[in-house]
Chains A and B, each alone.
Chain A
């Protein structure tokens, strides 16, 4: 099968389709990080004193911390003084509707395939679009407001709902949690805030599209989602970024809090940032801290991620299962190609009784990509009858890539049950030949096999996202029949 390696290579070598730079005048902080930068950001955002203090405290923690080196990734040292920590698109005062938004900005979204107005009408998705660091448009707000749901930019939440922000900010990921979380806590620019009050089931998928634009701007998003008793929300985060030569740092923090009993949060991500070129030049460094806390009884937090972009991914969406009967889930597809490196997985911390967690990780490696699953399952003393099931599967395309699995299991309660399954396979010539013998082109065959491999994760995604995820993997829609 001499054609197969070529096909796989071709698949691996497709150009990044969304590599373009928008020409929007931006207003930036001076390069470098210090207390002055933080004061600048805080002042620009007109923040209350407590938040400035919180940032400064985080910064001081960060100064004492060292960059983690335990991940299975290699990259040149990041110069944190060579980064612009804040950049906002200049806006005319008082935007009332989308028609007032910079047309260049709207065109950018259109290129990305997310025309806001169409989405409003067709998809029933409220989009809080983040362009660089400031939210430019928030939709469906009125409708959500009727239900008491708060969905707005983080900056706005600080102004409008400071008591909620203050109560929950850092309650799941404390500022001194890790190096990148501390950095984010010091300099975060904007992000999303979402609050679902008691008993409310959010009737639509909430969605944010992130996009890094201005050159050399690190992006430090902060997302906070709080669900009260019996509340439910499904949140989608999708990302594409323009092509760049220099590496860009992205260190986001996402905190999910399932506060009251029976609260449920579903968080889905499709990450498609610039992965660097074929030689491994450029690309995003994606160092993200995502964590959820199931505080109430019978609460549920579910992470689903499809990671196809970034030069380096360092990301472990986790769940602290504190309330009895709480459920944590992690479904992940991570794809590495060319010289991409991913070290991703999850932590499931079982504290409450009868807590359950499920981990399904699918790693796909091609080119010279290195893909590592790193997961921790921790059953604490009081977690009677806790259960975990982990499944980590790796698929290799070609023989110059790598797949690695690092499971950590820690059990302190004898009534618990932890299962771990792992597999590594190569796309077989016989599989491809079988598909071809049935009339499929080699590329479609590879797509189909890869898609089948990811099926357990894709079916966890909301429909509109699943489509995008499959497109990202270059596959046609699976399961449209039957």
Chain B
């Protein structure tokens, strides 16, 4: 589904990603871990198309297409979803209106009929249950006045409605208490299917107790230093990131 080869990216002349290699197949959950400043969020942003980052080398192929050539909205319509680390507020625009517009833009792109108000409401009510959301969330402006935890849940709610093929969760666990973490993880797990894939970017192993990854990659200084199964996360938790730095392996899956 996704193949990243020798990806180099920089911001304001500072190279953050220095040759990332990663391959993600449908049905898989990949966790990307790493210390602060290792480039995890940069990788997520580059995949979503944030153009403050410039790519100097490497390729990203998504479903056989050159992802880097696509505009952010084309990527989104093509099934790439980013759950933001810091979800953005849009005052005055209700969550439901925002989602309806987004969903219909995506459906239109895929040659599907746009949903009318009734069908849409039916759909979102059903998806709301996945993240244990109250109806009032629909009528509130997008992320405005939401608590940190509510914002993160809202991201997963967006994901549940838009049904991406490739979901990238950027530090979705940060700032969540244990109950919210469980709700978010439950939502992600319920959305797991054979034909979609998830990349979980996280700092801590904690989230991976709830979302069990198929693969764990450790990103250090802009490179994947080590890859392994879910047990790698536990090992990391125990030994710390320095351990990876000292014994680099630079493996790709």
Using known A-B contacts A438-B162, A441-B73, A480-B117, determine if residue A431 contacts B106 with beta carbons closer than 8 Å. Answer: no
How many interface residues does chain B have, given as a range?
A: 35 or more
Binding site for B on A (CB under 8 A): 1-3, 428-431, 433-442, 444, 448-449, 451-456, 476, 478-482
Q: How far is the CB of A450 from chain B (nearest CB, A)?
A: 9
Q: How far is the CA of A239 from the CA of B169 in the complex (A)?
A: 49
> Which residues of A have CB within 8 Å of B117?
480-481
Q: How far is the CB of A307 from chain B (nearest CB, A)?
A: 18
Q: Which of B10-18, B44-52, B58-66, B193-201 contacts A (4 or more CB under 8 A)?
A: B44-52
Q: How far is the CB of B210 from chain A (nearest CB, A)?
A: 24
Interface of A is mostly: helix
> Which residues of B have CB within 8 Å of A437?
48-49, 72-73, 75-76, 81-82, 84
Check if B87 is an interface residue, CB within 8 A of chain A. Answer: yes
Contact partner, B90, options A2, A436, A449, Cβ 8 Å: A449
Check if B204 is an interface residue, CB within 8 A of chain A. Answer: no
Contact bitstring B70-108, A, C-beta under 8 A = 1, else 0? 011101110001101001111111101111111101100
> Which residues of A have CB within 8 Å of B97?
478-482
Contact partner, B109, options A431, A439, A481, A482, Cβ 8 Å: A439
A433 touches B162 (CB 8 A): no
> Which residues of B have CB within 8 Å of A435?
90, 98, 102
> Which residues of A have CB within 8 Å of B100?
480-481
Q: How far is the CB of B121 from chain A (nearest CB, A)?
A: 6
B162 touches A439 (CB 8 A): yes
Check if B23 is an interface residue, CB within 8 A of chain A. Answer: no
B72 touches A436 (CB 8 A): yes
Using known A-B contacts A433-B50, A481-B120, determine if residue A438 contacts B102 with beta carbons closer than 8 Å. Answer: yes
Using known A-B contacts A444-B101, A481-B120, determine if residue A452 contacts B72 with beta carbons closer than 8 Å. Answer: no
A2 touches B51 (CB 8 A): yes
- Residue of A whose beta carbon sits closest to that of B118: A481
B120 touches A438 (CB 8 A): no
Check if B153 is an interface residue, CB within 8 A of chain A. Answer: no
A431 touches B88 (CB 8 A): yes
> Which residues of A have CB within 8 Å of B50?
433
- Residue of B whose beta carbon sits closest to that of A482: B96
- Residue of A whose beta carbon sits closest to that of B72: A436
Q: How far is the CB of A363 from chain B (nearest CB, A)?
A: 15
B73 touches A440 (CB 8 A): yes
Q: A431-B90, A436-B49, A451-B92 are in contact. List 7 more A-B contacts (CB 8 A).
A: A428-B88, A433-B88, A435-B98, A436-B72, A442-B73, A476-B101, A478-B92
Using known A-B contacts A436-B71, A452-B93, determine if residue A430 contacts B88 with beta carbons closer than 8 Å. Answer: yes
Q: How far is the CB of A439 from chain B (nearest CB, A)?
A: 4
A434 touches B90 (CB 8 A): yes
Q: How far is the CB of B103 from chain A (nearest CB, A)?
A: 8
A451 touches B93 (CB 8 A): yes
Q: How far is the CA of A433 from the CA of B121 in the complex (A)?
A: 25
Q: How far is the CB of B77 from chain A (nearest CB, A)?
A: 5
> Which residues of A have CB within 8 Å of B89?
431
A438 touches B138 (CB 8 A): no
Check if B30 is an interface residue, CB within 8 A of chain A. Answer: no
B91 touches A1 (CB 8 A): no
By Cβ-Cβ distance, the 8 closest A-B pairs, closest first, are A452-B92, A452-B93, A455-B92, A434-B88, A438-B102, A439-B76, A436-B72, A482-B96
Q: How far is the CA of A467 from the CA of B72 in the complex (A)?
A: 30
Check if B57 is an interface residue, CB within 8 A of chain A. Answer: no
A453 touches B91 (CB 8 A): yes
Contact bitstring B144-184, A, C-beta under 8 A = 1, else 0? 00000000000000100010000000000000000000000
Looking at A441, A448, A476, the one whose CB has the most chain B CB atoms below 10 A away is A448
Q: How far is the CA of A75 from the CA of B4 in the complex (A)?
A: 58
> Which residues of B have CB within 8 Å of A3?
71
> Which residues of B have CB within 8 Å of A439?
73, 76-77, 102-103, 105-106, 109, 162
B102 touches A440 (CB 8 A): yes
Q: How far is the CB of A396 from chain B (nearest CB, A)?
A: 15
Complex A-B: 29 CB contacts under 8 Å: A2-B51, A3-B71, A431-B88, A431-B89, A433-B50, A434-B88, A436-B49, A436-B76, A437-B76, A437-B82, A437-B84, A438-B76, A439-B109, A440-B73, A440-B105, A442-B73, A448-B98, A449-B90, A452-B90, A452-B92, A452-B93, A479-B97, A480-B117, A481-B100, A481-B120, A481-B138, A482-B94, A482-B96, A482-B138
A481 touches B93 (CB 8 A): no
> Which residues of A have CB within 8 Å of B138?
481-482
> Which residues of A have CB within 8 Å of B75?
437
Q: How far is the CA of A138 from the CA of B102 in the complex (A)?
A: 43
Q: How far is the CA of A448 from the CA of B138 in the complex (A)?
A: 16
Check if B245 is an interface residue, CB within 8 A of chain A. Answer: no
Q: How far is the CA of A480 from the CA of B93 in the complex (A)?
A: 11
- Residue of A whose beta carbon sits closest to that of B109: A439
Q: How far is the CA of A478 from the CA of B98 in the complex (A)?
A: 9
Check if B129 is an interface residue, CB within 8 A of chain A. Answer: no
